[in-house]
């Protein structure tokens, strides 16, 4: 067999591969595909940034999707939980969280992928979400990924020691620090001093990378020409849910005309894959989530987001040329 080259995992891929393996070893996944008809939403979206001159205030589809999924999670709080489960003793505790912290994969300018924690998105407006994502991206591009992720990995290892996972902790430390091609190289000396001399406001800290209460991956933002959707989606323990958003696509759908008659029409569809941990949730627990999304996508102009957008607009006294669009743009 001809070998082209061998590529050793860096710390980011080590963490991803380990958590992914743990996910499929431990969690009985149930996945469901939700086909969101975003035809009306996309019409509003085209007007959303009219009159906005500051790039930091511009609303992206990713911003809107994050907001909508958070609205769904607020309607179904059981989906915003983490699970404490002991298989040997068959004991489980579901932990409900007061805020929605979203683990969100982000591609850096270097091409590297880092999963960041977008804290408390459920209580943020569209504009606040946009600002948070932009600021996190700015700080991520000022950060040394190995250094930032090693801090989090070390914390997880030490937590494992506290939980009695001694063998696992020793193996992790051995695997990361033994000299050789698999060794994780941290900053030392002057370089380390200079890096940590950067204000925490201008770089990522472990607070920005620690695990959230759910994960939302936007495949469509990576490849807008994507066709189809994600069918298998891993849940990162102890989270109990994960979401994958695919690119907006033209698809035939059955719709009703003004007389209530059914017809086939080409519509814009955004597939959203939802994965749940069946140890903790049943599909019925997700019903309020899907009902909330149904309501938003059916009439985005009269959703709660619209009312928030209007209130925010009045507060900032910004001029808007498309008041009907306020719904989807709480942020901006």
Residue 8 or residue 186, greater confidence: 8
Q: How many Cβ atoms from other residues are within 10 Å of residue 4's Cβ?
A: 5
Q: Report CA 188 to chain centroid distance, whole Å.
A: 32
CATH class of 31-142+210-328: alpha beta
Cα separation, 148 vs 29, in Å, equals: 30
pLDDT at 317 over 50: no
Give Cα separations from 316 to 163, 309, 320, 331 (angstroms).
49, 11, 11, 11
pLDDT at 11: 76
- Using the 8-state DSSP alphabet, how is residue 239 labeled? B
d(CA 107, CA 123): 25
Q: Whole-model pTM?
A: 0.84
Residue 116: pLDDT band by 50, 70, 90 thresholds?
very high
Whether the predicted pLDDT of 326 surpasses 60:
no
pLDDT classification of 114: cutoffs 50, 70, 90: confident
What is the rounded average pLDDT for all residues in the chain?
A: 84
Residue 14 sits at the vertex; the CA angle it makes with 8 and 20, to the nearest 5 degrees, is 130
> If you count them, how many residues does the chain have?
332
Query: CA angle 170-171-174, nearest 5°?
Result: 85
Domain ranges of the chain: 31-142+210-328, 144-197
Dump pLDDT digits (tens) for 232-259: 899 999 999 999 999 999 999 999 988 9
pLDDT at 245: 96
- In this prediction, residue 292 carries a pLDDT of 96
240 neighbors 277 (Cβ within 8 angstroms): yes
pLDDT greater at residue 309 or residue 256? 256
- For the cut 60, the answer to whether the pLDDT of residue 311 exceeds it is no
How far, rounded to the nearest angstrom, does the alpha carbon of residue 228 sit from its chain's CA centroid?
20
């Amino acid at each position: 067999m001809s070998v082209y080259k061998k590529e050793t995992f860096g710390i980011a891929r080590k963490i991803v591969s380990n958590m992914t393996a743990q996910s499929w070893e431990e969690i009985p996944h149930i996945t469901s595909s939700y086909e969101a008809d975003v035809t009306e939403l996309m019409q509003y979206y085209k007007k959303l940034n009219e009159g906005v001159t500051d790039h930091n205030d511009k609303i992206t589809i990713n911003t809107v999707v994050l907001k909508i999924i958070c609205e769904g999670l607020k309607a179904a709080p059981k989906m915003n939980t983490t699970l404490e489960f002991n298989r040997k003793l068959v004991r489980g505790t579901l932990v409900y969280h007061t805020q929605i912290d979203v683990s969100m994969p982000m591609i850096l300018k270097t091409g590297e992928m880092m999963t960041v924690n977008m804290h408390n998105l459920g209580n943020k407006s569209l504009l606040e979400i946009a600002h948070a994502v932009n600021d996190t991206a700015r700080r991520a591009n000022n950060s040394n990924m190995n250094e930032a992720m090693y801090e989090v990995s070390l914390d997880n290892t030490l937590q494992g020691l506290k939980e009695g996972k001694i063998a696992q902790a020793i193996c992790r430390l051995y695997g990361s620090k033994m000299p050789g091609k698999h060794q994780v190289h941290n900053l030392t000396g002057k370089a380390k001093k200079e890096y940590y001399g950067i204000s925490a406001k201008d770089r990522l800290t472990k607070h920005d990378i620690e695990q959230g209460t759910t994960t939302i991956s936007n495949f469509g933002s990576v490849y807008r020409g994507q066709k189809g959707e994600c069918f298998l989606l891993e849940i990162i323990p102890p989270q109990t849910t994960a979401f994958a958003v695919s690119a907006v696509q033209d698809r035939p759908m059955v719709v009703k005309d003004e007389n209530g008659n059914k017809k086939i029409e080409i519509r814009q569809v955004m597939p959203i894959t939802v994965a749940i941990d069946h140890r903790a949730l049943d599909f019925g627990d997700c019903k309020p989530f899907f009902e909330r999304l149904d309501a938003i996508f059916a009439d985005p102009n009269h959703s709660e987001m619209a009312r928030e957008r209007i209130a925010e607009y009045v507060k900032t006294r910004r001029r808007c040329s498309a008041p009907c669009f306020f719904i989807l743009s709480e942020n901006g």
